[in-house]
Amino acid sequence: MPVRWISNVRLPHASRCSHGSGRRWRLGVDAQGLITRVLPLEPGSCAAGDDWGGDWLSPAGVDLQINGGLGLAFPELEPADLPRLLELLDLLWADGVEAISPTLVTCGVEPLRQALAVLRQARLQHRPGRCQLLGAHLEGPFLAAARRGAHPAHHLAAPSLEALNERIKGFEAEIALVTLAPELEGAEAVIDALRQQGIVVSLGHSAATEAQAEWAFSKGVGMLTHAFNAMADLHRRAPGPVAAAVLRGDVALGLIADGVHVAPSMAVLLQRLAPEQVLLVSDALGPYGLKEGRHSWDERVLLVEDGSCRLEDGTLAGVTLPLLEGVTRLARWSGEPGRAIAAATLVPRRVLGERRTLQQLLLGRPLAGTLRWSAGPDGDLRWRRWPEAAP
Catalytic residue among 81, 95, 258, 283: 283
What angle (nearest 5°) sits at the alpha carbon of residue 384, between those of residues 81 and 354?
70
Note if 90 is an active site residue.
no
Give CA–CA dist 268/286, Å, rounded. 28
**Residue 60 exposure: Cα atoms within 13 Å on the Cβ side:** 24
**Contact 62/345 with Cβ under 8 angstroms?**
yes
**Contact 345/373 with Cβ under 8 angstroms?**
no
Give CA–CA dist 52/159, Å, rounded. 52
**Contact 336/21 with Cβ under 8 angstroms?**
yes
Could you write out the three-class secondary structure of the chain? CCCEEEEEEECCCCCCCCHHHCCEEEEEECCCCEEEEEEEECCCCCCCCEECCCCEEEECEEEEEECEECCEEHHHCCHHHHHHHHHHHHHHHHCCEEEEEEEEECCCHHHHHHHHHHHHHHHCCCCCCCCEECCEEEECCCCCHHHCCCCCHHHCCCCCHHHHHHHHCCCHHHEEEEEECCCCCCHHHHHHHHHHCCCEEEECCCCCCHHHHHHHHHCCCCEECCCCCCCCCCCCCCCHHHHHHHHHCCCEEEECCCCCCCCHHHHHHHHHHCCCCEEECCCECCCCCCCCEEEEECCEEEEEECCEEEECCCCEEEECCCHHHHHHHHHHHHCCHHHHHHHHHCHHHHHCCCCCCHHHHHCCCEHHHEEEEEECCCCCEEEECCCCCCC
Q: Please give the positions annotated as active site.
A: 283
